[in-house]
Amino acid sequence: MMDDYDAIGLSSMAELNYLRLEAMDLFERCLTEGRTIFLEAFIEEQIAQEPPRLDVLRDVAEDLHQRLLSLREYHFDVMERTTRTLSDDFGLVMGAAIQAGSSEGAASLEPARVLSLVRDLNPNLSSRDETLVRRMLEMSAETAAQLREDIRMTEALFMYISDWVDGLSATIARRFWSDGRSDEYSSAVQ
């Protein structure tokens, strides 16, 4: 009997892991194609199950939350490395105006503006160094813009799935209490 339970538990865990991997593949496709419909369809498929697959939805929400944290950290690193290079190599200190998570911080790294400031601080800047600074700034700006879009999409998907999980959890709890199970629970607790 215990072996049957273990087999069912392992099968369920394998299915859960498979669905999580599928969801993360769909999430990557969302990021690549710039559309959320792929993961949204997966989420709706899990909601349509009877009963809804809350365990899958919760795990996917946690995976998205972890990805969101990683994307924010990577965005911060890109901004910080760029400002550090400008400071260390060219004496341009962007100061507290640069906040990695803010759009103002990203805007203050606009290549033409920063290049002008670098030229002002380094009047003998060689054309080679100027080209290197321009390329670095353009690449940083492009990467930061893509990361901001990925962060925006990940936040939207995370909120979408979290709202569903919260709503379904509340619905299931209401059903539990209205089906008379609350009396069973109350007597078991006492």
- 17 within a domain of the structure (yes/no): yes
- 130 within a domain of the structure (yes/no): yes
In this structure, is the dihedral angle defined by the CA atoms of residues 148, 152, 153 and 154, taken in order, positive or negative? Answer: positive
Could you list the residue range(s) of the whole structural domain that residue 8 is in? Answer: 2-160
How far apart, in whole angstroms, are the C-alpha atoms of residue 82 and residue 64?
27
- 173 within a domain of the structure (yes/no): no
- 186 within a domain of the structure (yes/no): no
- How do the pLDDT tens digits run along the chain, 190 residues long? 445 445 456 568 889 999 999 999 999 999 999 999 999 999 999 999 888 899 999 999 999 999 999 999 999 999 999 989 988 888 888 754 454 445 555 555 788 888 888 888 888 888 998 899 899 999 999 999 999 999 999 999 999 999 999 999 888 888 777 766 555 544 443 4
The total number of structural domains in the chain stands at 1
- 175 within a domain of the structure (yes/no): no
Predicted TM-score (pTM) of the model is: 0.78
How far apart, in whole angstroms, are the C-alpha atoms of residue 104 and residue 98?
7
Averaged confidence pLDDT in the chain? 84
- 68 within a domain of the structure (yes/no): yes
- 167 within a domain of the structure (yes/no): no
- 178 within a domain of the structure (yes/no): no
